[in-house]
Amino acid sequence: MKKEKSPDKLDRIVADARRASGEREQGYRARALRLYPWICGRCAREFDRDNLQELTVHHRDHDHDNNPEDGSNWELLCVYCHDNEHSRLIDAVYGDMAPAEQEKAATFNPFADLASRLKDKK
């Protein structure tokens, strides 16, 4: 019997989570593109099949897990306007934080502690 090593298992969990979020993104993007005209909601740039990859789905409440069937949480934005939208959010969220806190938020790794706890287990 092969013994399972914790770090491999952890890698697989992380990889699974990444893949799941990729699939989920494909799902809601396809649905949003069926629901809405292919136009950026900010700069009104129009898209067709040739440049559709530059049209992205923005979540109005910034919660990527909130994907109601009627599309009410989605907005189609070109990559530039989408970037803009999120840098404004970052300003709003981190603007009042002390620099040390900003750093903590940026480097926070939910698995760091888990990995050391798995290692300590005998």
76 in Cβ contact with 36 (< 8 Å): yes
Q: Which two tokens mark 88?
A: 């404004």
* Sequence-ordered strand ranges (E) for the chain: 55-59, 74-78
Least separation in angstroms between residue 59's CB and Zn ion is 5
Least separation in angstroms between residue 87's CB and Zn ion is 11
Cβ-based nearer residue to Zn ion, 80 or 102: 80
CA distances from 14 to 7, 8, 18, 62, 114 (A): 11, 10, 6, 22, 12
Cβ-based nearer residue to Zn ion, 91 or 101: 91
Cβ-based nearer residue to Zn ion, 59 or 118: 59
Contact residues for Zn ion (CB under 5 A)? 40, 42-43, 58, 78, 81
Least separation in angstroms between residue 70's CB and Zn ion is 18
